[in-house]
């Protein structure tokens, strides 16, 4: 759309955090109705740039201009004022949602849209406008539902509605698909295209190159804070983009042929959890030397299954055996230790919340699972020297980028946090590896690293359960794939016999090939 007017202009934005330059003289512009994809490695400065645009951060140099609502002339935004950005028509969907969980969707959308000290809120009018908006955009949510009861996809729709309700003309989405299923992502991009066609200008950040190529009009790439490319999507290839981001060629590891071994882990008729997240009558057999993928739309019991295998959720019914040892009996929901000692390695889904203790040092985080083992303590007293030494070795072996083993773990980026988790869980040569969404939010390089580690574990003869919503990842790594839907797990079938659309259908609840056609 070469003739469309420019609605947003970032001019020579520079942002420094101390001596570190997160954005280095970045200039970008956006036209009405255009969809721009912003790419870059973890820490490249994408989120920072968008936060400056929205007024959360203040740039050290440079300006942000937005087209005036009436005249259309580019007008400079006062820095550091989110409400000014909102008023000028900039809407932002943050990487971590900014919703009040205890309030309804309607409340979240109306929040701050009326003068604070008015005696009554015009909810009825607001609701009517929203119903109309939902119809036009196809973004439907139950306006009266509490946010805490909504799925991730629904929450995201609320976030977008928040922006549209305020007549946003520029919409920024920070890694919107990181937490969405393929179907949800597809729907999202369809919606975005509709909105763009109506004139909305959109910037989205993503690490998934396929969707970037499929859905954007233009692509901008940041590397180390600098804009290294700003090009039309047409003609861009995945390989070229990956190279632009990383600055060198990226090789993706693939799964070598390997014969599966004996049965390691079996679940029979296993039920656990309650409510929507419960799992029912799950049968599963994991062999050594294989990766078993579990596909499914988030919220269908994966979390409970992961918690069960992590020893955090008691088994309500059925059995759980590892190499003929009955583990189900010993599980009371507080026995992560039992599972670790039995030889389970667990990579939790939310690495910030469940993977590390941010305030403790990297060395302590590396030792946390084995802190009671003789190598870490004697008579209850910690062996600091040994702990530090092993940490230094792990930092080297896993290439954890940090200032040393004494640095607080929270200072690391997501990718490096994941490396801590990998290092400490895989170090003990586990029999079973449970990996839940192991590459969510990670950039190409970090993702490749995680995949390599999982394949290494497989090569050593471990059984890996890979829970993921990313079908590409599942198809590339798994020997067999089973689909989980509404807490029930389908049979695991060899990956070679499956294709994306079959899996997608099963994830949506259409039954397995065996009893074809029946809708759930």
Partner 1 sequence: MDFLDIFLNANFWAASLRIATPLIFGVIGALVCERAGVLNLGIEGIFTAGAMAGWMAVWLGAGLWGGVAVAALAGAFFGLIHAILTVPLGLSQHVSGIGVTLFATSLSYFVYRTALPDVSSPPRIEPFKPLDIPGLSDLPFIGPALFQQTALTFLALFVVAATAFVLYRTPLGLAIRAVGDNPSAVESQGLSVYGIRIGAVVAGSALMALGGAFLTMSAFDAFFFGMVNGRGWICIALTVFASWRPGKALLGALLFGAFDAFQVRLQTDVGSFIPGQVFLMMPYILSIAALILVARKADYPRALLVPYFRGQR
Partner 2 sequence: MIRFEPREPASLPRLILIPVAAALIALLLAALPISAAGVNVLEAYGLMGKGAFGSLFSFTEMLTRATPLILTGLAAALAFRAKLWNIGAEGQLYAGALAAVAVGTGWIDAPGVILLPLVVFAGALAGGAVMLGPTLLKTRLGVDEVVTTLLLNFVILLFVQMMLEGPMQDPMGMGWPQSEPILDQAILPKLMDRMRIHGGLIIALAAALAIHILLKRTVWGFEIRAVGENASAAAHAGLPVRATFIRVGLLSGALAGLAGVGEVAGLKGYLTADLSPGFGYSGIVVAMLAGLNPIGVVVAALFIASIFVGADSMSRATGVSNYLADLIVAMALISVLVSGLFLRFRIKFIRPHAAAASTQAASQETK
Ligand X SMILES: Nc1ncnc2c1ncn2[C@@H]1O[C@H](COP(=O)(O)OP(=O)(O)OP(=O)(O)O)[C@@H](O)[C@H]1O
Residues that bind partner 1 (CB under 8 A): 51, 56-57, 82-83, 85-87, 92, 94, 96, 98-103, 107-108, 110-121, 162
**Interaction pattern, residues 123-162, with partner 2; x per rule: CB under 8 A:** ----------------------------------------
| Binding of partner 2 by 282 (CB under 8 A) | no
Structure letter (DSSP) for residue 369: G
Give the x/- contact pattern for partner 2 in 382-421, rule: CB under 8 A.
Answer: x-x-------------------------xx----------
Q: Which of 39, 48, 271, 490 binds ligand X (CB under 6 A)?
A: 48
The contact set with Mg ion (CB under 5 A) reads: 47, 441
Q: Measuring CA to CA, which residue among 163, 234, 236, 170 is closest to residue 203?
A: 170
| Six token digits for residue 479 | 């020997």
Instruction: Report the C-alpha gap between 207 and 497 in whole angstroms.
Output: 28
Q: Is 72 among the residues that bind partner 2 (CB under 8 A)? A: no
Buried/exposed 234-257: b ≥16 CB within 10 Å, e otherwise: eebeeeebbebbbeeebeebebee
CA dihedral sign, ordered 404, 405, 406, 409: positive
Residues 5 to 64: which contact partner 2 by CB under 8 A? 17, 55-58
Q: How many helices and strands in the chain, by DSSP H and E?
A: 16, 23
Which of the stretches 41-49, 111-119, 323-331, 372-380 binds ligand X when contact is defined by CB under 6 A?
41-49
* Least separation in angstroms between CB 145 and partner 2: 24
* CB nearer ligand X, residue 154 or residue 174: 174
Quick check: 355 binds partner 2 (CB under 8 A)? Answer: yes
Residue 312 is a binding residue for partner 2 (CB under 8 A): yes
Nearer to partner 2, 57 or 398 (CB): 57
Query: Is 430 a residue that touches ligand X (CB under 6 A)?
Result: no
356 binds partner 2 (CB under 8 A): yes
Q: How far is the CB of 284 from ligand X (least distance, A)?
A: 29
Decide if residue 504 touches ligand X (CB under 6 A): no
Asked if 17 interacts with ligand X (CB under 6 A), we say yes
Residue 183 CB, nearest approach to ligand X (Å): 22
How far apart are CB 107 and partner 1 at their closest, in Å? 6
Backbone angles phi, psi at 302, to 5 degrees: -60, -40
Position among 33, 43, 301, 311 found at the interface with ligand X (CB under 6 A): 43
Rounded Cα gap, residues 333 and 327, in angstroms:
12
Owner of token pair 């988790």: 421
Residue 117 contact partner, candidates partner 1, Mg ion, partner 2, none, CB within 5 to 8 A by sort of partner: partner 1
Least gap, CB of 303 to partner 2 (angstroms): 12
- Of 173 and 305, the one with the shorter C-beta distance to Mg ion is 173
Strand partners, 39: 221
Task: Confirm or reject binding of residue 441 to ligand X (CB under 6 A).
Answer: yes
Round to whole Å and give the CA distance between 208 and 238. Answer: 9
Please report, as residue ranges, which positions from 342 to 371 form the binding site for ligand X (by CB under 6 A): 352
Alpha carbons 89 and 92: distance in angstroms, whole number: 10
Binding to partner 2 in span 316-345, by CB under 8 A:
334, 336-337, 339-340
Backbone angles phi, psi at 126, to 5 degrees: -60, -45
Q: Are 420 and 364 in contact (CB under 8 A)?
A: no
Q: Give 49 or 297: the residue with its C-beta nearer to partner 1.
A: 49
Distance CA 328, CA 264 (A): 14
Q: What is the largest CA-CA distance in the chain?
A: 76
DSSP 8-class letter at 484: E
Please name the residues in contact with 384: beta carbons below 8 A apart, sequence gap of 6 or more.
none
CB 51 within 8 A of CB 39: no
Q: What is the gyration radius of the CA atoms in the chain, in angstroms?
A: 24
Residue 120 binds which of partner 2, partner 1, Mg ion, none (CB < 5-8 A, kind-dependent): partner 1
Partner from partner 1, ligand X, partner 2, none binding residue 360, C-beta < 5-8 Å depending on class: partner 2
Told to check if 368 binds partner 2 by CB under 8 A, we report yes
Across the beta sheet with 263-272, the strand order is 279-287, 263-272, 317-322, 325-326
Least Cα distance to 507 among 469, 477, 478 occurs for 469
84 vs 228 by CB, closer to partner 2: 84
Give me the 291-310 binding string for partner 2, x by CB under 8 A, dash otherwise: -------------------x
Q: Which CB, 54 or 344, lies closer to partner 1?
A: 54
Could you say which of Mg ion, partner 2, partner 1, none residue 114 binds, taking C-beta under 5 to 8 angstroms by partner kind? partner 1
- How far apart are alpha carbons 44 and 245 in whole angstroms? 9
Residue 358 to residue 408: CA distance in whole angstroms: 6
Q: Which residues contact 71 (CB under 8 A, 6 or more apart)?
A: none
The residues of the shown chain that bind partner 2, judged by CB under 8 A, are 17, 55-58, 78-81, 96, 310-312, 334, 336-337, 339-340, 346, 348, 352-360, 364, 368-369, 371-372, 376-377, 380-382, 384, 410-411
């Amino acid at each position: 759309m070469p003739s469309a007017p420019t609605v947003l202009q970032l001019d020579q934005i520079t942002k420094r955090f101390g001596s570190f330059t997160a954005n280095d003289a970045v200039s970008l512009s956006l036209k009405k109705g255009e969809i721009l994809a912003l790419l870059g490695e973890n820490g490249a400065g994408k989120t920072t740039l968008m936060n400056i645009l929205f007024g959360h951060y203040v740039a050290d140099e440079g300006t942000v201009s937005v087209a005036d609502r009436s005249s259309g002339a580019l007008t400079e935004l006062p820095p550091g004022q989110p409400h000014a950005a909102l008023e000028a028509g900039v809407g932002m969907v943050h990487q971590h949602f900014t919703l009040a969980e205890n309030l309804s969707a309607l409340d979240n959308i109306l929040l701050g849209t009326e003068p604070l000290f008015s005696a009554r809120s015009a909810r009825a009018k607001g609701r009517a406008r929203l119903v109309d908006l939902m119809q036009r955009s196809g973004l439907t949510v139950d306006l009266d539902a509490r946010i805490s009861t909504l799925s991730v996809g629904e929450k995201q729709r609320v976030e977008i509605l928040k922006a549209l309700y305020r007549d946003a003309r520029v919409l920024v989405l920070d890694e919107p698909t990181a937490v969405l299923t393929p179907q949800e992502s597809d729907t999202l991009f369809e919606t975005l295209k509709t909105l763009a066609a109506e004139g909305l200008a959109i910037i989205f950040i993503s690490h998934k190159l396929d969707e970037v190529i499929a859905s954007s009009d233009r692509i901008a790439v940041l590397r180390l804070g600098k804009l290294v490319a700003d090009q039309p999507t047409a003609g861009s290839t995945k390989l070229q983009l990956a190279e632009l981001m990383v600055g060198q060629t990226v090789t993706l590891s693939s799964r070598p042929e390997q014969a599966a071994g004996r049965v390691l882990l079996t679940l029979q008729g296993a039920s656990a959890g309650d409510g929507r997240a419960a799992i029912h009558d799950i049968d599963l057999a994991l062999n050594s030397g294989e990766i078993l993928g579990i596909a499914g739309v988030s919220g269908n019991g994966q979390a409970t299954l992961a918690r069960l295998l992590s020893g955090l959720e008691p088994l309500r019914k059925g059995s759980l055996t590892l190499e003929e040892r009955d583990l189900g009996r010993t599980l009371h929901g507080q026995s992560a230790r039992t599972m670790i000692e039995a030889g389970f390695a667990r990579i939790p889904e939310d690495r910030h919340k469940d993977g590390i203790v941010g305030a403790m040092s990297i060395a302590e985080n590396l030792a946390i699972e084995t802190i009671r083992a003789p190598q870490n303590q004697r008579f209850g007293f910690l062996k600091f020297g040994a702990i530090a030494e092993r940490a230094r070795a792990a930092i080297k072996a896993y290439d954890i980028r940090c200032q040393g083993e004494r640095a607080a773990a929270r200072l690391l980026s997501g990718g490096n946090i994941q490396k801590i988790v990998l290092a400490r869980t895989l170090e003990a040569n586990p029999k079973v590896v449970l990996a839940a969404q192991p590459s969510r939010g990670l950039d190409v390089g970090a993702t490749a690293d995680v995949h390599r580690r999982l394949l290494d574990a497989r090569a050593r003869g471990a059984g890996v359960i890979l829970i993921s919503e990313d079908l590409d990842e599942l198809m590339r790594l798994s020997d067999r794939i089973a689909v989980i839907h509404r807490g029930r797990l389908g049979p695991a079938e060899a990956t070679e016999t499956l294709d994306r659309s079959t899996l997608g259908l099963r994830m949506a609840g259409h039954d397995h090939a065996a009893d074809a056609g029946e809708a759930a």
